Structure 1
Amino acid sequence: MTTKYNMVKRAVKSKIIDGTYTPNQKISSESELMKEFGVSRHTVRLAIGDLVLEGWLYREQGSGTFCADRSKMTNNQGVSSQKSIAIVTTYLSDYIFPSIIRGAESRLSDEGYQVSIFSTNNNHENERNILEKILSQQFDGVIVEPTKSAYSNPNITYYLNLEHLSIPYIMINAYYDELEPISIVMDDEKGGFLQAEHLIKLGHKEIVGCFKTDDTQGIKRMKGFLKAHRQNNVPINPSYIITYNTEEKDTKPVEELEKILIENNKSITGLVCYNDELAMKFMDLLRMKNIKVPDDISIVGHDDSLLADISEVKLTSVMHPKSEMGVFAADTIIGLVKSRNSNVDTFNANSKIYEPELMVRSSTKKVNHL
């Protein structure tokens, strides 16, 4: 159970971290804090006293209590001799993320960095809590996979606070466009284009595309899917586009595909999937309905994950750099940290876009026109 003292301390600290209180700004008076939290003056003084001792606040006799400029504390005093990097991903335990993390963690460990790994579960509130923790503990640098990157992000102020504290961060797989960060991503539009074009070149015209639309990867892959149809003069059937968000990923795509299969009987010959994980779910549904891959329907995934090669029918999929992306991210953040610590801007950090390639396996074949 949180004590009243900790409640006040945490609330004031959060206002510093999220930028509500800016450096050298006077914070609320003791009386105002007493009223806001319904606590005694003694409780307020204990909480504020702790934050002063920890360097979050400072007092001026006769004037009040003010927010400290923590960028000076970070750069000049240093909080810990332990070199540390935070890696924030949307998910930890499944799919391609372990490979990305392993690549980054191995490289960072070689350079003597302690790595802390966090997962947002693609939830903005979780992201906020993690960013608060990162800002409180003063990490040397941060590698971030954005949460729901297609949406306006409510946590932008936390990233601006990282910048104020001169804590370098880079983004992988996607990025928040308004921040214009250094980013390491795939050309997802081209990936979606390659998926659809592959099926079109095999003679498929009735193609269902399924995309996750609360992240920019899904939006761009859908754009590539549509572009491939237009450039090859293949009509797009609007009812063949399935979209879903994070909360719907375990149910909606399969339900929507099942409806399309029922309504269109055997006219569908191709499936383009947001990723391999979704492709596996679709293959399970097709197996239940006795629809054979690739004889009846060809299917293309994205990311060329382990799932693509261990499935009963080997999956045609767009390759993702995975471990290579992790290593490149690690090298970039190490360079940025060293450049900051030396106070010399000698490291030329640039964003990187990986070109996708299609790995063709046995889940696709030429369509049999009767």
Structure 2
Amino acid sequence: MKTMIVVDDEYLVRVGIRETIDWNAHDILIVGEAANGRAGLELIERLQPDLVISDVKMPLLDGVELVKAVQAKGIDLAVVILSGFKDFDFAKGALENGATEYLLKPIDNDELVAAVRRAIAKLDLRRYRAKRAAVAESELPAIRKALFEALVRESADAALSTRLADAGIVVPVPGRLIYGAIDAAETYLDPAAHAAALIALASMTAGSAAASTLSLAEREFFILTPETLDDGTWEARLRDVLIRFEHGYSDIVSLSVSRPYGSIAEIACVYADARTAAKNKFFPAVSTISTPSAAKTPWKPLVIRTLELIARDYDKNLTVRSVTETLLVSESYLLHTFKRETGVTFNECLTNYRILTSKRLLLQNTYKVYEIAAKVGYSDEKYFSTVFKKIVGMTPSDYADKGGTRDR
């Protein structure tokens, strides 16, 4: 149950808010009232409520000053400001200083309840993000150690995956595991290449195959660099990163740029090779990374489900129509939403995923080109070779012969 204080110099307004709305039905308990801002601030400091409903014009300390004082004292709560029409500039000032919602008098009970519920939702989200950031910060050393051990023994630890998820660092997707958020790129790179703030290990398993069956060379890394680096800085450092990684792990590196900390939603179409990703200034296909100071909305479930279908059915005759029939949405809505959310089209995503998979198969020297084409969803070997050359810069046969060391 959330606790609330009402601060208003009009007695009848306080009574009306307290008596005419069944706050218990909304899981809210009024724990105090005050007739001016100064008394309200004293109540807030003593009772530490979750929510305050406050008038904007009051004696001793007005609503704007009250909000400023709460902010200065670092008290985490939501504030709903009430104002008359002529006091709108005051209400605007309160919003600019941290108030969550405002309403014009006379007050409509339904509107007040709706504003309070919005304010509580924002408060809960803010507290969740702060808690997640704190967990991530405190867990980083242990996570780093556990992940490095997992790399050494070439196995995936379910407990580690859960731990990462609890810290808001990783989003597991069926058939695929992603580990993330290690602020120690120098473990794999020369310290001079420490532009990479985070490393996420993605096991390239298909279906229910166990990650422990993979060798280190079959795994992919994502290097995520902070957006705070200016273009010239990170481009220069990432060129250094590319050189070092390609020297030892040709064709297994993909790069992207984002903020440190937060959740990484799985995405199939980001599996482009390192140089292509770098050339395109890092394929904008990584979901929002939340930071303690900034966070964005994650991808829509529709997009995530579409990516899961691509990862699962890329080797079949997968089309936009077949996806929309599975997800029960229109083609136009899917295409528009997917492009808006990921920055790439559905077909670009599917093609990139198929080509990346074919590159790994080619390096195994186990299958003929026509067999690989069929395995990644192409019935026409010639067409597959054309698409492959357009994306990679050489034919599938040349790629296999050269060990993938000269693809662009």
TM over 0.5: no
Greater relative CO, 1 or 2 (CA 8 Å, sep 6+): 1
The TM-score, its normalising length taken from structure 1, stands at: 0.28
Decide which structure has the larger Cα Rg and report it. 2
User: 1 or 2, which has the higher helix percentage?
Assistant: 2
TM-score by length of 2: 0.26
